[in-house]
Amino acid sequence: MPPHKASPAHDAAINFEPDAIVVGSGAAGSMAAWVLARAGIKVLVLEAGRDYDPVKENAMLKWNWQAPLRAGSTPDKHFGFYDATADGGWEVPGEPYTNAPGSVFKWWRSRMLGGRTNHWGRHVPRFGPYDFKSHSRDGLGMDWPISYDDIAPWYDRTEKLIGVSGANAGLENHPDSSPGVLQPPTPPRINELAIKAGANALGIPCVPSRYAVLTKDIPDDNVPRQACFYASPCGRGCAIGAAFQSTTSLLPMAMATGKVRILTDAMASRVVTGRGGKATGVEYFDRHTGANHFIQARAVVLAASACETARLLLNSRDDGLANSSGQVGKNLVDTTGTNVSGHIPALENRPRYNEDGKDVAHLYIPWWLYKEQAAGKLDFPRGYHYEIGGRFGAPGSGSPAAGLEDGYGAPLKEDARRYYGAQISLTVRGEMIPNADSYCELDPEAKDRFGLPVLRFHWKFSDHEYRQIAHGIATARAIIEKLGGTVLTPRLPPEEAIAVGGWIIHEVGTTRMGTAAGNSVTDQFGRTWEVDNLVIADGGVFTSNAHKNPTLTIMALAWRSMDHLAGRMRKGEI
């Protein structure tokens, strides 16, 4: 397709003459842009979504009753009316994806500057030593080409940069941060202390959680961030920068260097290569006009999210760019998930008080049965954790007392007062092992509105995941019953209780790193084996996906990879 007439924004990007193009502006893309810019490298960020101003557009202090359906979910606002996802979701008009027969995979895309960082959960545990060498422990999957010690310094730097509050728990395979890195944790709520008591009575740890939410100010001449004032759900976006998102931190920090330009509504369509197989730049479509353009650079960094990056590579060449191993799109995994909730009579009729705190759990339950797993005492090989919940919260579209109220008039009000705040929840988040039946590829027929082939997903859980979920449900029920509570969640077989693929929005692994070109797409620094100046910085490079939420590891790896890329560019290797 011949190029259309250039837009003013494209002309500005061309005149800028970037040294590197970064595709994506979320967790990985913003980190990549900032690290490269600090090294003196001129960077152009291509973002497929629209521009977004987190100060002007967030709904931090709006009440639920001020919104339709008390701010409940709708088909186009799955996480609620006030959710910060300004454009995007499970379905994006004109940009479909498909599922192979028998497969169910849900693909969340945030078409906005900053991507998913504007509304994510912000839970940031570290991967541990076992997580990078899981094949060596149980013979499944593949070991990473790096160890925990290789990434530990970048964990420290990333936690301090983005602002992580929490505490060192000193637990097996849950590494502590270096002294002075973490911000203070937030005191636990009553419901969380109840869960801790029930868990501890069963020999299960329950410790301060780590979240990218500030409990202390981060002063900065260019981009100051304020501590959380405990009054707004984080998923709405955070104008004061307390809850980390790239639009209030890394992107403005990168722009402050004078080395970065951002081009929004720019849908990357393919990486262009030239002589010697090196990348020469990126083609993209203007999402408003449909015009396609090309921008040249010395290096290309893909940080568009695991599946979007895989799609870009598959569309860049007939057999897929950087795909001699055949691994592009393969090894797709998500976090496993389910939820168990319960009613605790001991928490009924509590005195009313403000129990907001952070909009996230102040405690959580990390995986604790590593020794039993290594000894073969469990019937599943990889762990899970619980993200816990329960407190006095602002009523939304559902019942504030779990539907336990009955009757009408005065008795109904009495029930609501009695049961409000007496519920707890334990949400399972577990590790999925890569399998040959879970991957994405180009659909042979379906195309998007730009004429590009779309992704088709194949998905299947194994018995490893089903047995893990069964254990997680049984243990959650035991904690609730230990507290004298009643389980509210219907008892379902794990095959029905487990969240469908993609639902947890932790998909990674489609362009995994490794030690050799024959079984992986990139080396340990995200550099593709076949294209020397093409680097992948998002979750696609994960060799495995521990039960721990992946964003902190994505950012730490991106920082490490960009330091390496910047060094090569300074030496003239690229």
8-state DSSP, 187: P
**Residue 503 pLDDT > 60, yes or no?**
yes
Helix axes 190-201, 463-482, angle to 10 degrees: 110
Identify the CA nearest to 60 among candidates 75, 71, 47: 71
- Provide mean pLDDT across the span 397-418: 88
**Percentage with pLDDT > 70 across the chain:** 99
Q: How confident is the model at residue 5 (pLDDT cuts 50, 70, 90)?
A: low
> What is the spatial distance between Cα 101 and Cα 98, in angstroms, rounded to a whole number?
9
- 483 by Cβ neighbours in 10 Å (0-12 / 13-18 / 19+) ranks as buried
97-101, 363-367, 405-409: lowest mean pLDDT where?
405-409
Report the mean per-residue pLDDT for the chain: 96
The string of pLDDT tens digits covering residues 75-95 is 889 999 999 999 999 999 999
Q: What is the four-CA torsion angle of 235, 236, 239, 241, rounded to 10 degrees? A: 0
Q: How confident is the model at residue 27 (pLDDT cuts 50, 70, 90)?
A: very high
- The reported pLDDT for the residue numbered 370 is 98
CA distances (Å), origin 343, targets 352, 353, 389, 391, 444? 18, 19, 12, 12, 50
Q: How confident is the model at residue 3 (pLDDT cuts 50, 70, 90)?
A: very low
Buried b (16+ CB within 10 A) or exposed e, 214-249: bbeebeeeebebbbbeeebbbbbbbbbbbbbbbbbb
One-letter amino acid for residue 71 of the chain: A
Which CATH class for the 1-53+108-166+215-334+507-574 domain? alpha beta
Of 14 and 185, the structure prediction assigns the larger pLDDT to 185
> What is the spatial distance between Cα 157 and Cα 126, in angstroms, rounded to a whole number?
13
- The reported pLDDT for the residue numbered 7 is 75
- The reported pLDDT for the residue numbered 124 is 98
Q: How confident is the model at residue 12 (pLDDT cuts 50, 70, 90)?
A: confident
The string of pLDDT tens digits covering residues 320-333 is 999 999 999 999 99
- The reported pLDDT for the residue numbered 9 is 80
- The reported pLDDT for the residue numbered 405 is 86
> What is the spatial distance between Cα 476 and Cα 425, in angstroms, rounded to a whole number?
9
- Provide mean pLDDT across the span 543-568: 98
218-222, 286-290, 323-327, 486-490: lowest mean pLDDT where?
218-222
Q: How confident is the model at residue 2 (pLDDT cuts 50, 70, 90)?
A: very low
Buried b (16+ CB within 10 A) or exposed e, 368-377: bbbeebeeee
What pTM was computed for the model? 0.97
The string of pLDDT tens digits covering residues 518-533 is 999 999 999 999 999 9
The string of pLDDT tens digits covering residues 222-256 is 899 999 999 999 999 999 999 999 999 999 999 99
- The reported pLDDT for the residue numbered 360 is 93
**Residue 1 pLDDT > 70, yes or no?**
no
Q: What is the phi/psi pair of residue 295, to 5°?
A: -125, 135
**Residue 344 pLDDT > 70, yes or no?**
yes
CB 334 within 8 A of CB 319: no
- The reported pLDDT for the residue numbered 363 is 98
The string of pLDDT tens digits covering residues 151-199 is 999 999 999 999 999 999 999 999 999 999 999 999 999 999 999 999 9
The string of pLDDT tens digits covering residues 372-400 is 999 999 999 999 999 999 999 887 777 87
> What is the spatial distance between Cα 513 and Cα 282, in angstroms, rounded to a whole number?
22
- The reported pLDDT for the residue numbered 170 is 97
What residue spans define the domains of the chain? 1-53+108-166+215-334+507-574, 186-208+336-430+462-497
